[in-house]
Amino acid sequence: MLKPVVNQEICIGCGTCESFCPEVFKIENGKSGVIAEECGNCNCQEAVDGCPVSAISLEEK
């Protein structure tokens, strides 16, 4: 399985990932955090592709 990972040094807190997949991403203190180990609804590729600063990667668990 692939686990989404957010590079918080790059993230600008725009909320795009959370709007694509609120099950996995949550904005807190102006940064996106990953709140689920994996996504059951999508593979989060849309969030990866939609991030304006390419802060999200998918890593093998």
Residues within window 25-44 making contact with ligand SF4, judged by CB under 6 A: 25, 27, 32
Does residue number 11 form part of the binding site for ligand SF4 (CB under 6 A)?
yes
Q: Bridge partners of 16?
A: none
Helix, strand, coil percent content, the chain, rounded in steps of 5: 20, 30, 50
Q: Does 51 bind ligand SF4 (CB under 6 A)?
A: yes
Confirm or reject binding of residue 16 to ligand SF4 (CB under 6 A): yes
Cα–Cα distances in Å, from 4 out to 8, 45?
12, 9
> Applying CB under 6 A, which residues contact ligand SF4?
6, 11-17, 25, 27, 32, 51-53, 55-56
